[in-house]
Amino acid sequence: MTDTRPDIRWWLLGLLAFVIVIALSVAITGPDEVVLGIGEHQAAGSAVQVDEIQAQWRAGGVRTLAIVSMLGDLVFIGIYGWGSWQAGRSFMAMPGSVRMIGMLVAISALIFLVTDYTETILQVIQLLREQGSDWMAAVAATVRPVKVIAWIATFGGVLIALAIRRFAAPTA
């Protein structure tokens, strides 16, 4: 094991931001008449679906909360993406399997940043315009699964690299 410590400060701050964004997202479906939330908006593949969701948000009085949640998501993406990149790069400076995991985390962080910013920016545009767009909804829905896989790779990768560093036998 090496004395080099992984740089996970921004990654941890990103997780904190994630918890806040999730809390805001969950609050959107608080009113009884609002059953479609941010997740459904992300997965909506057509303007009709986006318009239906946004109409529900307006009727339920949570449109502003949805805007705040999506803007918060943009902040989260930046903090978590940067933190994952930093963590991955710091693991890449270490020996053994942690180096390869660090490379996976760093690459996944870049993929996460591109796909989640694409998805969320297109969502925000549709929400602020108060009108869905078929191409924007389709692109957002298409990048969503890639974003999720990249997020899982960054989250799991950092945890696995930390565990390996913690439990690996010291080198002579």
The 10s digit of each residue's pLDDT in 153-168 is 999 999 999 999 988 7
Other Cβ atoms closer than 10 A to 33: 11
- Residue 2, pLDDT > 50, answer no
- Residue 3, pLDDT > 80, answer no
Contact 141, 135 (CB under 8 A): no
- Residue 1, pLDDT > 70, answer no
pLDDT given at position 169 = 62
Give the separation between CA 125 and CA 129, rounded to whole angstroms.
Answer: 6
The 10s digit of each residue's pLDDT in 113-135 is 999 999 999 999 999 999 999 99
Quickly tell me which residue has 């985390």 as its tokens: 105
What lies within 8 Å, CB to CB, of 114 at 6+ separation is none
